[in-house]
Structure 1
Amino acid sequence: MPGHPLRHRLYRRSLPLAAAVLAASLLAGSAQADDPAPVDVALTADLDALLADSRLANAQTGVEVLDAATGQVLYARQPQALLTPASTLKTVTTAAALDLLGPDHRFTTEVRTLGDRAGSALVGDLVLRGGGDPTLLAADLDDLAGQVAAAGISTVTGRVLADGSRYETTPLGPGWAWDDEPYSYSPQIAGLTVANDPEYLMDTVRVTVTPGAAGEEAAVTLDPAQAPMSFTGRITTGAAGSGSSVGVDRRRGANELALSGSIATGSAPVTSWVTVENPSTYAGRVFEGALARHGVRVVRGVDAATGAEASQPLVAHQSQPLAQLIVPMLKLSNNGIAEHLLKEIGKVKGGRGDWATGVAQVRGFLNANGLGTPAGRQVDGSGLSRYDLVTPARMAALLKLAQDRPWFGAWYDALPVAGNPQRMVGGTLAARMRGTKAENNVHAKSGSMGGVDNLVGYATAPDGRRLVFAVMVNDFAGTSPRPVLDAIAVRLAAGPAPAQAKARTFGAPAADDGYQGTRWEDCEAVAHC
């Protein structure tokens, strides 16, 4: 997929000169007050040296390190700075979800009848009612279709009504970038949605381009086949060894794919994951296809439900419990799951499945636990929005607080583990900090987008102490500071002995850890973008 320019920034109104000078002096004073006197002199010297790296020049950097047991601040660098969290915000969303919904919370998807039975016919409609399940797979819809057939229904004289009304109809979060919309890490959010792979890339279709003979048009297939996509353009098959320049681009606001470029004959197929407009109707189409495979004919196709239908329950599917569901969310930085959790919090605790209500409930959770000040800003669940702001101090305090909760073990295990090559263990940190003391030690959540790179989590020191850390870097340009973040985590895990190690030891960012070619967006969730 083509690269994008760096994302736009929010611009502030200019201050008069005198006010600007005063503001600068106040900020300088607060920054000095922000940074407490060193408690661990060796740690302070080592982290100061790492943070002097030229890759951080002119960037905004905030750091806090705590003793996890006592809460004592061991190191701080502008811990009260409001910074863009990117995907590290998922730690806030998951902690609030586990606390407010409970680790055993499940999502239920129902098939309901709207009409009367006449032998093997349902004279009326089948309603596919979404319960907000962010992990509903095409295979789960196939299982539900099998249950409908087993219930003795072979004909539906009406329609499949797709009901995504559990959540509001606004499909994208506040401040999400419009040019991210086609990509799998920016799915549309609805009360009914479907994924077609075990990593739960909801509201996406897999597009596979397979070469033919040289000079022929390449074959383009969709999975699921029921995805409502149309095509413009074509992809040609080039000579063997000619390389590939495949373009599969969804037109904004439409389920139309513009095909371009070529693929060399004899080469491996090229696969892309693309989002789909109107995820609830998409799920209804996939369900209709599953019904057909199980011998159930739907006469009038798929339509949208109103949510007010007086239907009767027929069969249902339950998701895995929340404590298990957060594993793919945190390990793979799945944005869609995070947004469903936020809206589910709003629905269950506030009566409305929308972003504003979910955010208000999360804010209440933070306030109730002494994490309400200083004021930050949260507008979504995943951190995709540039409007989100949080301080390193609040992130560190949340990590400390979580240790006292009964769900902490599941949450800690769900965080990516540095250097572990197993995808559902190492997650977005699988290729990072390998061969260091941080490997299989540091449990942390990363977060990145253009000009933003963060790492928050836990490290176990050589003396057995658990340390909490939050390292947030914003507003950098050019070379990624990620090696510096990793070097800090390694220093915490290794203790003072390797303090002379340089950040450059860890090299450039790996190609599969969230930076995809020239793309800087927060696509850590996806190996396919």
Structure 2
Amino acid sequence: MRLGQWIHTGAMLVGLGLLLGGCATSSNTSEQALDQLLADPALAGASVSLMVRDVRTGSTLYQHNPRTRLIPASSLKLLTTAAAMDVLGPQYRFSTQLLSDGGRQGERLMGNLYLRGLGDPTIQWADYQALAANLAGQGIRQVQGDLVFDDTWFDAERLGLDWAHDDEDKYYGAQISALTVSPNADFDAGTLTVTAKAPAVVGQPVSITLSPPTDYVQLSNLAVSGMGNSYGLNRQHGTNLLRLRGTLAPGTQSRQSVSVWEPTQLVANLFARALAEQGIAVQGKRVIDGTSPATARVLAQHQSAPLQELIRPLLKLSNNSMAEALLKAMGRQQANAGTATAGVTAVADFLTRQGLDPTTLSQVDGSGLSRRNLLSAQNFTDLLLVVSKQPWFNTWYAALPVAGNPKRLVGGSLRYRLQETSAQNNLHAKTGSMGGVSSLTGYITDAEGRRLMFSMLTNNYVVEGARIKALEDRLAIILSRNEGGA
């Protein structure tokens, strides 16, 4: 076969290509290296879908089970964010509104006060305080009606399809609501940060601080200062009871994030406090899941940063809450339905517009947390190819984790990998990890300056995940070096 066309099909490798250099010896060596990688004992009994292509031409340079659909884990965020950049647009912003259906009488607001969430996963406690301060700045000191919390922009399905029950209390498995709050700059919406500090005296209980400060959750604190560092935290299913157990070394502290049950009600707790801080009294009752009337006027509003900025922390830090918010926002934008199903349809329509067939994959959520998501290396490299031709590509590409770069919001989930290799500060890719699932999908430049795109998905392995990650790293080195060794 002529130079420039070499394909791996199942167990057979035919021909030789441009993938790793212009000479037959170098390419043969590279071919053997990829063969050896797939023959690694860590992959015994596992399923692998692998594909490598040239970005400029789109030609396939290497493939192994390219159309075998596997669970992608967080690599799915590539699809979600690319579709969002198209459907919502790079300038899209989430909003949170303060509205009323009543008039003013001096310092009194005669109607209801509505806090309406439009899905912002980045809004924080300080932003809710600013909304309350804005209202006070308008001279309002009393609300005669009810305080209504409107989260109807999204549906009431708080968790994704088939999310694991043991992820429920984790920050990455937080409930989805159109009215939520993030405790940190990572935008882990629907969670609280729990800081435990151990006193110097052994046997004394640890002290607990919550951020944002709230009495919405209850604490069962049996954790004490002591040796062993067996401290742990979890939330009891279906409740907001946080259970703290074990020992924490004297004089040390632990900071962990935990999801809450019903984030809308957490926001209600916090915003009522923010109003009280501003000296604004509410005469009526607190109403959860109310709906803002169409005639209500906006009194104050908070807007997020534009999507083109939000995809950086989303992709770098693999933020599930942000991805799920984007999926439902796409559904609301395209079909006026803030559901995951409508969002998935919006993503499928994006693929169709790009000439891709959405029936060749299965997507059920935005983050990749569900094991019902199924994509192949072919699906991912097709996506990478069409995205490379979009006007917003450079922004999206810059948001991908960069291998070996120690800066958290540059290297992201790849910052500790491939340091001091030819892939460092070269590989731009999204990682994916779950039990028995690993993936790496992205772009890398070879030694001749040519940009390649690749995807490797591995499922059903029984070895430690670190061994699969090491194989992914080996793949990146082979592609970047144009030779057969690490």
- Fold similarity call, TM over 0.5: yes
- 1:272 partnered with 2:256: yes
Aligned to 1:228: 216
- Gap regions ≥5 residues in structure 2: 1-7, 19-26
Aligned to 2:123: 136
Q: In the TM superposition, what is the alpha-carbon distance from 1:373 to its structure 2 partner?
A: 5.9
Aligned to 2:237: 252
Aligned to 2:266: 282
Question: What letter matches 1:270 in structure 2?
Answer: S
Which segment is superposed worse, 150-159 or 429-438?
150-159
C-alpha separation in 2, matches of 1:113 and 1:145:
13
Deviations 1:311-370 (A, max 9, x none): 221011111111111111000000011011111111001121101111111112112222
- 1:108 partnered with 2:95: yes
Q: In the TM superposition, what is the alpha-carbon distance from 1:48 to its structure 2 partner?
A: 1.2
CA contact (8 A) 2:360 2:379 kept: no
- 1:295 partnered with 2:290: no
For 1:216, which of 196, 204, 211 is the aligned residue? 204
Q: In the TM superposition, what is the alpha-carbon distance from 1:165 to its structure 2 partner?
A: 0.5
Label 1:33 to 1:214 Cα distance change in 2 as closer, same or farther (>3 A): closer
Deviations 1:420-454 (A, max 9, x none): 00010000000000001111111000001000110
Name the SS of the counterpart of 2:171 in structure 1.
Answer: coil
C-alpha separation in 2, matches of 1:35 and 1:471:
17
Name the SS of the counterpart of 1:316 in structure 2.
Answer: strand
Q: In the TM superposition, what is the alpha-carbon distance from 1:244 to its structure 2 partner?
A: 2.3
Label 1:385 to 1:36 Cα distance change in 2 as closer, same or farther (>3 A): farther
- 1:203 partnered with 2:181: no
Quote the sequence identity (%): 40
Deviations 1:18-53 (A, max 9, x none): xxxxxxxxxxxx964997754354332221122221
| Corresponding pairs, count | 466
Q: Aligned-pair RMSD on alpha carbons? A: 1.9
Q: In the TM superposition, what is the alpha-carbon distance from 1:492 to its structure 2 partner?
A: 1.2
C-alpha separation in 2, matches of 1:126 and 1:360:
34
Aligned to 1:171: 158
- 1:407 partnered with 2:385: no
Give the alignment of 1:19-168 within 5 angstroms: 32=10, 37-40=15-18, 41-42=27-28, 43-168=30-155
Deviations 1:99-149 (A, max 9, x none): 111111111110012333222122343211001112111121121111111
Which segment is superposed worse, 133-142 or 175-184?
133-142
CA contact (8 A) 1:207 1:221 kept: yes
CA contact (8 A) 2:116 2:292 kept: no
Question: What letter matches 1:444 in structure 2?
Answer: A
Question: What letter matches 1:314 in structure 2?
Answer: L
- 1:318 partnered with 2:296: no
- Gap regions ≥5 residues in structure 1: 1-29, 502-529
C-alpha separation in 2, matches of 1:291 and 1:223:
18
Question: What letter matches 2:118 in structure 1?
Answer: G
C-alpha separation in 1, matches of 2:461 and 2:426:
28
C-alpha separation in 1, matches of 2:221 and 2:448:
62
Question: What letter matches 1:339 in structure 2?
Answer: E
Aligned to 2:368: 383
Question: What letter matches 2:287 in structure 1?
Answer: D
For 1:185, which of 169, 172, 175 is the aligned residue? 172
Q: In the TM superposition, what is the alpha-carbon distance from 1:411 to its structure 2 partner?
A: 0.3
C-alpha separation in 2, matches of 1:295 and 1:216:
38
Question: What letter matches 1:383 in structure 2?
Answer: G
CA contact (8 A) 2:152 2:291 kept: yes
Q: In the TM superposition, what is the alpha-carbon distance from 1:308 to its structure 2 partner?
A: 4.5
Q: In the TM superposition, what is the alpha-carbon distance from 1:217 to its structure 2 partner?
A: 2.2
C-alpha separation in 1, matches of 2:358 and 2:246:
52
CA contact (8 A) 1:59 1:473 kept: yes
CA contact (8 A) 2:10 2:64 kept: no
TM-score for both structures, normalised by structure 2 = 0.92
For 1:369, which of 340, 354, 357 is the aligned residue? 354
Name the SS of the counterpart of 2:110 in structure 1.
Answer: strand
CA contact (8 A) 1:61 1:78 kept: yes
CA contact (8 A) 1:231 1:257 kept: yes
Q: In the TM superposition, what is the alpha-carbon distance from 1:265 to its structure 2 partner?
A: 2.6
Name the SS of the counterpart of 1:115 in structure 2.
Answer: coil
Question: What letter matches 1:276 in structure 2?
Answer: V
C-alpha separation in 1, matches of 2:139 and 2:284:
19
Name the SS of the counterpart of 1:185 in structure 2.
Answer: helix
Question: What letter matches 2:417 in structure 1?
Answer: R
Question: What letter matches 1:229 in structure 2?
Answer: V
Give the alignment of 1:510-521 within 5 angstroms: none
Name the SS of the counterpart of 1:317 in structure 2.
Answer: strand
Name the SS of the counterpart of 1:249 in structure 2.
Answer: strand
C-alpha separation in 1, matches of 2:215 and 2:398:
35
CA contact (8 A) 1:67 1:467 kept: yes
C-alpha separation in 2, matches of 1:475 and 1:351:
38
CA contact (8 A) 1:227 1:282 kept: no
